[in-house]
């Protein structure tokens, strides 16, 4: 499974951090960061391959701008 964060769309509300602090943190730019996420230069999104998506699924479900996605 892959967690994908479209950081450019992020509004910095912190909902993802509130429900999933193990995989999300607030950055100095006021937007959330996917902890251990790697920038995909082709899409300009941050991605993390993981077997444990339950927490980030809750973050995706709670994101008001839907910039977090779980892909299989």
What residue ranges define each of the domains in the chain, with the CATH number in brackets? 2-71 (3.30.70.20)
| Burial label, 62 (beta-carbon count in 10 A; 0-12, 13-18, 19+) | middle
Mean pLDDT, rounded, of the chain: 97
Q: How many CB atoms lie within 10 A of CB 9?
A: 13
Tokens encoding 17: 């951090």
| Residue stretches of the chain with pLDDT short of 50 | none
Please identify which residue in the block is written with the tokens 């941050």: 46
Q: How many CB atoms lie within 10 A of CB 56?
A: 26
Please identify which residue in the block is written with the tokens 């790697």: 38
| pLDDT given at position 43 | 97
């Amino acid at each position: 499974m892959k967690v994908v964060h479209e950081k450019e769309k992020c509004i910095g509300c912190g909902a993802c951090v509130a429900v999933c602090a193990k995989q999300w943190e607030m950055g100095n730019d006021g937007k959330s960061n996917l902890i251990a996420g790697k920038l995909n230069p082709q899409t300009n999104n941050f991605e993390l391959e993981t077997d444990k998506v339950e927490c980030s699924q809750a973050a995706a479900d709670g994101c008001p701008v839907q910039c977090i996605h779980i892909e299989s």
